[in-house]
Each structure stands twice: as structure tokens, then as C-alpha cells.
Homo-oligomer: A and B are copies of this chain.
Amino acid sequence: LAKARVRAKRAYHHGDLRESVIAAAVQIIGKRGPKALTLRSVAHRLGVSQTAPYRHFASKEALLAAVAAEGFRTLEKRIEAEMVLAGGDPVERFRAIGIAYMAFAIEHPAHFTIMYAARPPEFSQGPVADASRHAFKLTKEAVERCQREGRAPKGDPSRIVVAAWAFVHGLAMLYENGQLPKNYDVKSARSLARQIPLFLRSGLDQP
């Protein structure tokens, strides 16, 4: 009867539950906010017992870390795609990273929220830390090319990277929190293009 159908549905999750749990978590966060995410709600949504997710995640934090890792992978792909579009100009490449970051935050708010709201200790190591380092390295390379061509001031490129990162991250944060003034059209990520390279041009003297 109905019970048989439920059982069939459950059987479907054999070997696939891990991905389903992540997807359901993202959906719940997206629809009802991070506070509404409970393991039990995930399990219920998937028609699975409340303890089933523990087969695939050691804890709720481990699930959040998996969502974050997925987010960082997506961000990485977004950056790569935008870099290809940018072509060879180093300033354009620098811009592309910021545009990709902003676009990612806008297009994947649930992932973005988890990536920076909850920061379990798992984030300091493993795939999340790797992705973070990789994005930093890409940006630094773009800045160094700008410096070589005389389009950014001399000095430690890391300072420029951090400044740009802080700017874009802060902007994404303010956007996410709805704290940007109405006339500030950040919905189109490309409108930021002109603002990001200001970090290449001035003000970055050593302290």
C-alpha cells in the first residue's frame, strides 16, 4: 500500500543519500533560512528516518562543511569560466575574479551563507581551505601580472589581493543582508567591474 511506496522511495536512496542530503540542506536554507536547517527536517523531506543522515555525515557540522565544500567547488568553476571570458588583459583577469565572486554570492545565496556564516573547525583544513588558498593564488598571479606591466603599484601583491578580497566579500555580505542602498545596483555583478580595479591604482602604500 502506501507503506510499500514509501519503502520503494527509501530504497532509492541506497548509495545516493549523501548527495540527496546535501541538496535537501541547500534547499531548506534557501527557502527558510539557515536557522530552519535541522537534520530531522532534511531526513523528513527525503522520507528517510531521522538517523539515516548519520550514515553519511558524522554530525550536523560535517554536513555544513560538505555544503561549504560544494560551494567552494562551484565558486572555483565560476572563477575559471570568468577568467576565460576575460582573455589575456591582466586587469580584466583581476576584475573577472571579483565579478565571479559577486555573481556566485548572488546566484548561490544558500551556499554563500554557509560558507561564511557558520565556520566549523573543519574549514581550517581540507577541501575548504584548499579552495580558499587556490582562489587567493589565482588573484595574486593576476595582480603580479598587473605589476609587471606597470598597471599596479609595486610592493607586496598580497596586500592588494587582501584589499580586493575584503572589498568584494564585504559587498557580497552587505548585499546578502539587504544593507545596500536601493540605488546601488549590485544585482548585476558586472556593474562592479569598474570598482574592483581601484585597488590596482592607488592607496596601497605600505603602512
Contact = CB atoms under 8 A, between A and B. Distances in A.
A166 B179 CA distance: 10
A169 B165 contact: no
A168 interface: yes
A84 interface: no
A14 interface: no
A181 to B, nearest CB: 5
Contacts of A119: 177
Given A167-B167, A167-B170, A198-B202, A180 B207 contact: no
Interface of A: 116-117, 119, 132, 136, 156, 158-159, 162-163, 165-171, 173-174, 177, 179-181, 183-185, 191-199, 201-205, 207
A170, A193, A203, A207 interface centre (most CB from chain B within 10 Å)? A170
A198 B203 CA distance: 5
Instruction: Give the 9 A-B residue pairs with the shortest CB-CB distance, closest first.
Output: A198-B203, A170-B170, A166-B170, A191-B207, A166-B171, A169-B170, A167-B167, A201-B202, A194-B205
B162 A167 contact: no
A205 B201 CA distance: 14
Contacts of A116: 173, 177
Nearest to A207: B191
21 contacts: A116-B173, A136-B181, A158-B184, A159-B184, A162-B184, A165-B170, A166-B167, A166-B173, A167-B167, A167-B170, A168-B170, A169-B170, A170-B170, A170-B171, A170-B173, A191-B207, A193-B207, A194-B203, A195-B203, A197-B203, A198-B198
Nearest to A120: B35
B162 A185 contact: no
